[in-house]
Chain A
Amino acid sequence: MFANNSCEKKGAGIMATRLVFLSLVCGAVSVSVGEHLTTSEVPPKRPYFVDCRSPEQETFSCWWSAGDYQNLTGPGALSVFFQKNRDVWRECPDYSTAGENHCYFNSTYTSIWIPYCVQLRSQIQDIVYHQMCFTVDEIVVPDPPVGLNWTLLNISQTGQHFDILIQWEPPPSADVKKGWISLVYEPQYRAINMSDWKPLEVERACYQSVYGLKTGMEYEIRVRCKQAASEKFSEFSEHLYVYIPKVPTKETLFPFTMILIFGAVGVIIVLMLIIFSQQQRLMVYFLPPVPVPKIMGIDPELLKKGKLDELNSILSGHHTFKPELYNDDLWVEFIELDIDDQDGRSHHSDTHKLLGSENLNGNCLNIKDDDSGRASCYEPELPDSDMLDRSQAEAREEKASLLDSEGRAAHSSTTDPSPPGRSHPGATAEGASRSHPQIQSQLSSQSWVNLDFYAQVSNITPAGGVLLSPGQQSKIEKTAEAHSSPKTQKCQLAMTTDSAYTSEMDAKNISATPSLNGNEPKVIVSPYTVSEAPASSVPPVSDYTTVQAVDSQQSLLLNPSTLPTKGTPMPAGYLTPEQLNSIMP
């Protein structure tokens, strides 16, 4: 009881406080609301026209919103009045056709290019909430196009892309056919999973091509239209879905072929690079250089101008080399030299000549040896050398032939490793004492057929006649090689083979040397001269002899002939026909 009273009292107190609290709160709220309402600048939004629109330029409709005035939302709360061409204000003819809050003007009320004004008024018609003025051609917003369809134009060769042609119909409400309204269209497309629409060209035509779509992907297409000069587009049409499945075979083959092609091209490029970079090596490998005709022992550098001397020396070393260089002029000059030297002819003068500054020795020694072992001391002339060279060469030849004779004389003593005869006149003397048959054997000659200046003496008659026979040169060469020292051998052989002839001087010299030493006479044979070889005495050398007989083996028997009368001057090396007649018996 007591507790109840206290509870009641407490409850009442609590209730009171609660009420006070609530009232305070309510008051505060109301005050704040009131303050808010009174102090804010924003009035309640009045009813207003949202927009007016004509879909086909034949009718139009306007719709409004009540704004914040919620009590005016119901039908009939607001009224619309319109004024056509600044005429009288009339009320909206149709509130219902277009829907709630819409005022619809049919074609009888619609005139194009004529200014309209509409007003939103309260029902009592004394408050104008909103007014709007326009001309119908400005508010044309057409309906969306209809009847979208597509046809396939083509598929690319790879099967990855395709092109289509999309077509549509103008909105049925728009009287495009009569030309009352002109529309332009804008199609758009996108892949299903993409978010951005891709617009295509805005065109008057009711069709358009879309290129470059991918197979295996689904696409969406939509179209919208607008009046040509207007900026307001219609709503979008219904979406059209396009899909073409991928063609698997083409797709799988295509990359392989492309890889093959590119791989082949790459390989070709690499090969070309290799070939061009290693061009020289490959040329050598595949097309080895043709061996240039090479003469052993001759450096091609020597063939260059200015090195004729060395070349001559080398070339003369080849036994097969036939110097075709001795033309008649050389022979003449050779003879001339003989004439010059006739007076001063002596063994010593010859040797002096031999030991002259021309360094034949040096040439001989310095000759590069090659495999054939036929270096030559002898320097045959080349045809293109000038006269000076020729004369020099002649002099050398002369001396070489002298050397040859001396060398041969030296060679005759096989047992004696004599020094080369060219440097020692003593050797010459020694050589003079050689045996007769050896000399004979050394006097190698080539066959008459070769027209060399030497023929082999095969026999000497007691009367002094000489029997010449051809073709035993090689044998003698071999014997000569076997017996002599290499260098002397070379010299001798060179003298033997390559020398065209010996001079008379040489012949006389050779013949004279035995006289010094009191040896048997030697016989040196040349095609032009023959010296008699008497057994005991040195016969006077005569220039010519007669051929007495010709053997079956083509051997010539030569008779010693008497010297012509001393009074007659001997021509240089050849006889005039008169002299010949005088000589011949």
Chain B
Amino acid sequence: MSEAYPGLVLLLVLQVCAWVLLLWRCWGVLGYPLDCKDEQGSIISCTSISLEKLLDRVIQHAELIYHVSEESCTLFEEMFVPVSMHTQQNRARNTCITKAFPIPGSKSEIQKISDKWLLHSVLMLVQSWIEPLVYLQKTLDRYDDAADTILNKTKWVTNKLSSLEQGIVELIRKMLDEGLLAVEHQQTLTRFDAQPEVVESILRDYAVLTCFKKDAHKMEVFLKLLKCRHTDKMSCYIS
């Protein structure tokens, strides 16, 4: 046994190395660990994070969420949506219900929005999507195993959304010096009430995914605009 011991140790070391390598690649996906340094550069405990780093992390989250949601959308379209309905017309027909307060779409208008409104818009978007995604997970369970990847992605996105929400709250607190006492989850209008038929349920889920993808894109763009303003205020206001 004593002879096998060095072999076992070596095997264990190799395993650890393999896992480290695996996880190292995933770190880029999952986001970089918090690097809590104060202005002098010494590492302190992560009680606080600088605004730039917080903003970077939030943007990272938003980018990832958008990327994954786009993948889910494409996958769903390939797997379940009939070919005849792949045209852009049908995509646009599944309109997404607008939120409580309309968000302007044009770039010029968006650039005129203040930081406060941008942040609040993003927060609202994030909060409005947590419930529908949970609902989507339930409906995706009813599909066969082909939807497992989409289901996993949806679960992942839901988790990331919650952490993004926390980040936005923190960002609001730092940038706007506002304290949100409680995270208000606005009850969104249930968009799809009726008991659907099969085809309709597919289209409904597809619509959910598509709309979520759009909103994820919105979040990303808003946050990036915010970052530009934070870093270089002068050039960012010039359209």
Q: Residues of A with Cβ closer than 8 Å to B? A: 57-58, 86, 107-108, 110-117, 131-138, 175, 177-180, 182, 228-229, 231
A414 to B217, CA, bound (A): 139
B217: chain A residues at CB < 8 Å are 113, 137, 229
- What are 25 A-B contacts defined by CB distance under 8 Å? A108-B106, A108-B108, A110-B105, A110-B107, A112-B218, A112-B221, A113-B103, A113-B105, A113-B217, A113-B218, A115-B92, A115-B95, A133-B88, A134-B88, A137-B217, A177-B228, A177-B235, A178-B228, A178-B235, A179-B225, A179-B227, A182-B224, A228-B63, A229-B70, A229-B213
1/0 per residue, CB under 8 A from A, across B225-239: the answer is 101100000011000
**Contact status B92-A180, CB under 8 Å:** no
What are the 10 closest A-B residue pairs judged by CB atoms, nearest first? Answer: A179-B224, A111-B105, A133-B92, A229-B70, A115-B92, A114-B105, A133-B89, A178-B228, A111-B106, A112-B105
Q: Which partner residue on chain A sits nearest B225 by CB separation?
A: A179
1/0 per residue, CB under 8 A from A, across B80-122: the answer is 0000000011011101000000011111100000000000000
1/0 per residue, CB under 8 A from A, across B56-80: the answer is 0000000100110010001000000
**Contact status B107-A117, CB under 8 Å:** no
**Contact status B224-A180, CB under 8 Å:** yes
**Contact status B92-A229, CB under 8 Å:** no
B235: chain A residues at CB < 8 Å are 177-178
B165 interface contact, C-beta 8 A: no
Query: How many chain B residues have a CB neighbour from A under 8 Å?
Result: 30
The minimal Cβ–Cβ distance linking B76 to chain A, given in whole angstroms, is: 15
A115: chain B residues at CB < 8 Å are 92, 95
**Contact status A180-B106, CB under 8 Å:** no
Q: Which of B184-239 contact A (CB under 8 A)?
A: 213-215, 217-218, 220-221, 224-225, 227-228, 235-236
A57: chain B residues at CB < 8 Å are 107
**Contact status B107-A107, CB under 8 Å:** yes
A137: chain B residues at CB < 8 Å are 214, 217
B66: chain A residues at CB < 8 Å are 228-229
Q: Which of B118-161 contact A (CB under 8 A)?
A: none
A107: chain B residues at CB < 8 Å are 106-108
**Contact status B228-A111, CB under 8 Å:** no
Q: Which of A58, A133, A134, A135 contacts B107 (CB 8 A)?
A: A58
A297 to B210, CA, bound (A): 111
B104: chain A residues at CB < 8 Å are 111
Other CB < 8 Å A-B pairs besides A107-B107, A229-B217, 20 of them?
A108-B106, A110-B106, A111-B106, A113-B217, A117-B92, A131-B89, A132-B88, A133-B89, A134-B88, A135-B92, A136-B105, A138-B91, A175-B107, A177-B228, A178-B225, A182-B63, A182-B224, A228-B66, A229-B67, A229-B70
Q: Which partner residue on chain B sits nearest A139 by CB separation?
A: B88
A111: chain B residues at CB < 8 Å are 104-106
The minimal Cβ–Cβ distance linking B212 to chain A, given in whole angstroms, is: 12
**Contact status A179-B92, CB under 8 Å:** no
A180 to B74, CA, bound (A): 23
B70: chain A residues at CB < 8 Å are 229
A116 to B108, CA, bound (A): 18
B214: chain A residues at CB < 8 Å are 113, 135, 137
Q: Which of A110, A116, A175, A228 contacts B92 (CB 8 A)?
A: A116
The minimal Cβ–Cβ distance linking A454 to chain B, given in whole angstroms, is: 76
1/0 per residue, CB under 8 A from A, across B32-63: the answer is 00000000000000000000000000000001
A132: chain B residues at CB < 8 Å are 88-89
B88: chain A residues at CB < 8 Å are 132-134, 138
A86 to B74, CA, bound (A): 25
A177: chain B residues at CB < 8 Å are 228, 235
A432 to B35, CA, bound (A): 127
**Contact status A180-B107, CB under 8 Å:** yes
B105: chain A residues at CB < 8 Å are 110-114, 136
B220: chain A residues at CB < 8 Å are 182
Q: Which partner residue on chain A sits nearest B92 by CB separation?
A: A133
A474 to B106, CA, bound (A): 139
A136 to B74, CA, bound (A): 18
A177 to B67, CA, bound (A): 20
A231 to B107, CA, bound (A): 23
**Contact status A112-B107, CB under 8 Å:** yes
A107 to B91, CA, bound (A): 23
**Contact status B92-A134, CB under 8 Å:** yes
A182: chain B residues at CB < 8 Å are 63, 220, 224
B227: chain A residues at CB < 8 Å are 179
A134 to B106, CA, bound (A): 15
B218, B220, B221 pick with most chain A CB within 10 angstroms: B221
The minimal Cβ–Cβ distance linking A313 to chain B, given in whole angstroms, is: 60
B89: chain A residues at CB < 8 Å are 131-133
B91: chain A residues at CB < 8 Å are 133-135, 138
A131: chain B residues at CB < 8 Å are 89
B92, B213, B214 pick with most chain A CB within 10 angstroms: B92
A229 to B218, CA, bound (A): 13
B106: chain A residues at CB < 8 Å are 107-108, 110-112
Q: Which of B2-46 contact A (CB under 8 A)?
A: none
A453 to B224, CA, bound (A): 127
The minimal Cβ–Cβ distance linking A214 to chain B, given in whole angstroms, is: 31
Q: Which partner residue on chain A sits nearest B229 by CB separation?
A: A178
The minimal Cβ–Cβ distance linking B162 to chain A, given in whole angstroms, is: 22
The minimal Cβ–Cβ distance linking A458 to chain B, given in whole angstroms, is: 87
The minimal Cβ–Cβ distance linking A182 to chain B, given in whole angstroms, is: 7
B215: chain A residues at CB < 8 Å are 113
The minimal Cβ–Cβ distance linking A48 to chain B, given in whole angstroms, is: 12
**Contact status A133-B228, CB under 8 Å:** no
A182 to B63, CA, bound (A): 10
**Contact status A180-B221, CB under 8 Å:** yes
Q: Which partner residue on chain B sits nearest A116 by CB separation?
A: B92
The minimal Cβ–Cβ distance linking A83 to chain B, given in whole angstroms, is: 10
A100 to B95, CA, bound (A): 32
Q: Which partner residue on chain A sits nearest B213 by CB separation?
A: A229
**Contact status B93-A133, CB under 8 Å:** yes
**Contact status B218-A178, CB under 8 Å:** no
A110: chain B residues at CB < 8 Å are 105-107
Q: Which partner residue on chain A sits nearest B71 by CB separation?
A: A229
**Contact status B92-A178, CB under 8 Å:** no
B103: chain A residues at CB < 8 Å are 113
A231: chain B residues at CB < 8 Å are 74
Q: Which partner residue on chain B sits nearest A110 by CB separation?
A: B106
Q: Which partner residue on chain A sits nearest B69 by CB separation?
A: A229
A582 to B17, CA, bound (A): 109
The minimal Cβ–Cβ distance linking A117 to chain B, given in whole angstroms, is: 7
A180: chain B residues at CB < 8 Å are 107, 221, 224-225
A182 to B218, CA, bound (A): 12
B74: chain A residues at CB < 8 Å are 231
A313 to B93, CA, bound (A): 126
The minimal Cβ–Cβ distance linking B220 to chain A, given in whole angstroms, is: 7
The minimal Cβ–Cβ distance linking B52 to chain A, given in whole angstroms, is: 14
Q: Which partner residue on chain A sits nearest B95 by CB separation?
A: A115
Q: Which partner residue on chain A sits nearest B70 by CB separation?
A: A229
The minimal Cβ–Cβ distance linking A333 to chain B, given in whole angstroms, is: 65
